[in-house]
């Protein structure tokens, strides 16, 4: 492995720097153990970047992201940003749009030793369309998708395109074809949003016809919210539009044990960005108690994506090992963070994950010896 892969690390706001440091510790341990060809470059976005450069996402960082092999983005506190015209750019939404990261992939599963609030085990993954929908910062070529004709009237535009629907459906069905359940559920509100969600369903049905071996069904979004609570195990691969996917994935992750465990990957044809599913939690920032599992798990998803894209099996093995190490770390109450009823802090949880990496390789073979393959942060 002579060609290094450049990972741009953006440490965000609030608890972002803390969980980013913990995640990099895990990635560097995995890089040493599996001799991964990774180089990490650190940059600031969010409020720290605004204070230094007058923008929460300077253009030079967008260019770095476009040139990078992968991006790791910590949570950002967009609610505290100034208006966009004054430099308050949403790093997450902007990078998703600029890099055409159309698929937001959010797995939600129960873990051994962690009693789920729903009381039932399940393992599902939600494919959320990521570049359209009601999100006002990414559905217009120029300007915002929200506007106010008068001070007492606000209008929001939802963008739904056939191409956008087809490509999220394609990646969802392709993923479902690799899972034992072979089951895709399209979530919609076509009974009310007849044109937009009608177009979404037509696109899903078109792709479903190309996968006759996969069981396909459709559920209205409000019913889906109830059914996820009643029996989340009834679902496997879920595909839906932007806002519905955002809400349902948080619900599914909380049902699995904690939003702090919820990994997330934003992927397109040429780029991918790992991102914790939760927010920046400014109320606990700086206290060292945040759960870093979401960002660590998201980084593992990025490694798996890079391994598949560049045909580097070691990256995929490392991703699997990190996931297993997270499972092991949350089993014991002594290494759980407070959101899961434990007392461990951010760094202690990361150390537990690293300790798990040093045990047994997921294949069952002895774990590789520590080597001098780690890549420095720049």
Catalytic residue among 163, 217, 222, 269: 222
| DSSP secondary structure code for residue 337 in this structure | B
Neighbours of 288 (CB within 10 A): 13
Torsion of CA 44, 130, 140, 70, to 10 degrees: 40
CA 129, 132, 136: angle at the middle one, nearest 5? 130
CA 335, 338, 343: angle at the middle one, nearest 5? 50
Report the C-alpha gap between 123 and 238 in whole angstroms: 11
Q: Is 222 marked active-site?
A: yes
Q: Are 193 and 241 in contact (CB under 8 A)?
A: no
Catalytic residue among 11, 13, 77, 246: 246
Catalytic residue among 34, 69, 81, 189: 189
Q: Is 69 marked active-site?
A: no
Q: Is 211 marked active-site?
A: no
Catalytic residue among 123, 137, 250, 347: 250
Alpha-helical segments (H) within the chain: 16-34, 47-53, 59-67, 91-98, 162-176, 196-208, 221-230, 242-256, 293-310, 313-331, 346-357
Catalytic residue among 34, 81, 135, 216: 135
Catalytic residue list: 135, 189, 222, 246, 250
């Amino acid at each position: 492995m002579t060609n290094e892969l450049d990972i741009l690390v953006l440490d965000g706001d609030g608890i972002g720097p803390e969980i980013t440091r913990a995640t990099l510790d895990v990635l560097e341990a995995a890089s040493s153990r599996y001799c991964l060809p990774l180089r990490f470059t650190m940059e600031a976005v969010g409020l720290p970047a605004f204070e230094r450069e007058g923008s929460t996402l300077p253009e030079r960082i967008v260019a770095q992201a476009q040139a990078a092999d992968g991006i790791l983005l910590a949570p950002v506190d967009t609610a505290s940003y100034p208006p966009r015209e004054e430099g308050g750019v949403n790093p997450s939404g902007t990078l998703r749009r600029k890099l055409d990261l159309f698929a937001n992939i959010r797995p939600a599963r129960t873990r051994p030793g962690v009693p789920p609030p729903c009381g039932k085990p399940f393992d599902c993954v939600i494919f959320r369309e990521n570049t359209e929908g009601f999100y006002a910062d990414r559905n217009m070529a120029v300007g915002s998708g929200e506007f106010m004709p008068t001070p007492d009237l606000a209008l929001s535009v939802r963008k739904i395109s056939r191409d956008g629907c087809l490509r999220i459906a394609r990646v969802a069905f392709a993923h479902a074809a690799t899972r034992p359940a072979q089951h895709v559920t399209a979530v919609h509100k076509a009974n009310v949003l007849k044109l937009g969600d009608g177009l979404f369903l037509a696109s899903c049905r078109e792709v479903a016809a190309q996968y006759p071996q996969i069981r396909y069904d459709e559920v209205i979004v409000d019913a889906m919210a109830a059914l996820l609570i009643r029996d989340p195990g009834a679902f496997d691969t879920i595909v839906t539009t932007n806002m519905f996917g955002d809400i349902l994935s948080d619900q599914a992750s909380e049902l699995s044990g904690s939003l702090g465990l919820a990994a997330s990957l934003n992927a397109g044809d040429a780029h991918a960005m790992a991102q914790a599913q939760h927010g920046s939690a400014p109320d606990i920032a700086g206290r060292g108690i945040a759960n870093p599992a979401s960002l660590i798990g998201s980084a593992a998803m990025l490694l798996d994506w890079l391994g598949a894209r560049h045909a580097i099996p070691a990256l995929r093995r490392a991703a699997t090992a990190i996931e297993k190490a997270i499972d092991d770390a949350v089993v014991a109450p002594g290494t759980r963070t407070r959101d899961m009823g434990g007392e461990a802090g951010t760094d202690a949880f990361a150390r537990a994950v690293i300790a798990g990496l040093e045990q047994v390789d997921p294949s069952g073979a002895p774990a590789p010896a520590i080597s001098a393959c780690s890549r420095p942060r720049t």
